[in-house]
């Protein structure tokens, strides 16, 4: 039941993704997803890229993915022990927010008593986006931030923007490294460049895959890479290879 429901939600997300959000399974594990949320433009989180991990319980959708923080129980990887993990919906990106603590746990009613089997991960992601825009300081996970939100809104917004900016810079650096790795794998050795040996390509590939970019970012990079590949292929044959890679 859970597997079929999760697969249906994945297909629905791919067909009609929610605004500024994307999600999908990590590797081949349908019960472990990673989502990416773009910071809402009308919030201190505008311009940010936030990674969220999602673990589904075995009785989903009758029970929600729980917002109790990142999994800490050892997991041996066999199907029989799959659900030794703590099922979670949690931020992996640090967020300065009264309803999101340092472990990434989220205080959101639909992940607790307001959960309904009619809800979906798409709706959960949209609710998290709404929480970024409109925090609930009366039900905080971080009382100190909630107090700042109530008593000094300007300081709260300045701090939240600062955190968002730092995370965005780190994300962009990581994304650039990923693109350079992909470029070396595909194009190094063409257009008169020296040939890259298979061992070096494998090493670069492993480095690229180790970079933590999130679901939507890797998808967007791969699409951009394929488009760029075609353009650079044409430019290469026209003697215009310079400038293909920024």
DSSP string covering 92-117, please? SS---BTTB-TT-BB--GGGTTT--T
* Residue 78 CB-density burial (10 A; 0-12 exposed, 13-18 middle, 19+ buried): exposed
107 is catalytic: yes
DSSP H stretches of helix in the chain: 2-15, 121-133, 143-151, 153-187, 198-210, 215-237
Q: Extract the tokens encoding 225.
A: 């890479």
Largest CA distance in the chain: 64
Note if the bond before 61 is cis, omega within 30 degrees: yes
129 close to 37: Cβ distance less than 8 angstroms:
yes
d(CA 210, CA 196): 20
In the set 107, 129, 181, 232, the catalytic residue is 107
d(CA 239, CA 101): 53
The residues that are catalytic are 107
């Amino acid at each position: 039941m859970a597997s079929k429901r999760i697969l249906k939600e994945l297909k629905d997300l791919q067909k009609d993704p929610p605004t500024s959000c994307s999600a999908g399974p990590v590797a081949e594990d349908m019960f472990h997803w990673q989502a990416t949320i773009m910071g809402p433009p009308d919030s201190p989180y505008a311009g940010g890229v936030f990674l969220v991990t999602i673990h589904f319980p075995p009785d989903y959708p009758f029970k929600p993915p729980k917002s109790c923080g990142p999994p800490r129980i050892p997991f041996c990887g066999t199907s029989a022990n799959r659900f030794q993990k703590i099922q979670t919906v949690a931020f992996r990106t640090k967020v300065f927010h009264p309803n999101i603590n340092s472990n990434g746990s989220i205080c959101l009613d639909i992940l607790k008593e307001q959960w309904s089997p009619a809800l979906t991960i798409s709706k959960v992601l949209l609710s998290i986006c709404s929480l970024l825009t409109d925090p609930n300081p009366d039900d905080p996970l971080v009382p100190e931030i909630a107090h700042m939100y109530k008593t000094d809104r300007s300081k709260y917004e300045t701090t939240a923007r600062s955190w968002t900016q730092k995370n965005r810079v780190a994300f962009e650096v990581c994304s650039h490294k990923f693109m350079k790795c992909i470029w070396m794998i595909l194009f190094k050795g063409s257009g008169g460049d020296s040939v890259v040996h298979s061992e070096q390509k494998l090493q670069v590939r492993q480095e690229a895959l180790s970079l933590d970019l999130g679901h939507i970012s890797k998808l967007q990079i791969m699409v951009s890479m394929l488009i760029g590949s075609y353009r650079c292929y044409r430019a290469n044959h026209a003697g215009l290879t310079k400038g293909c890679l920024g």
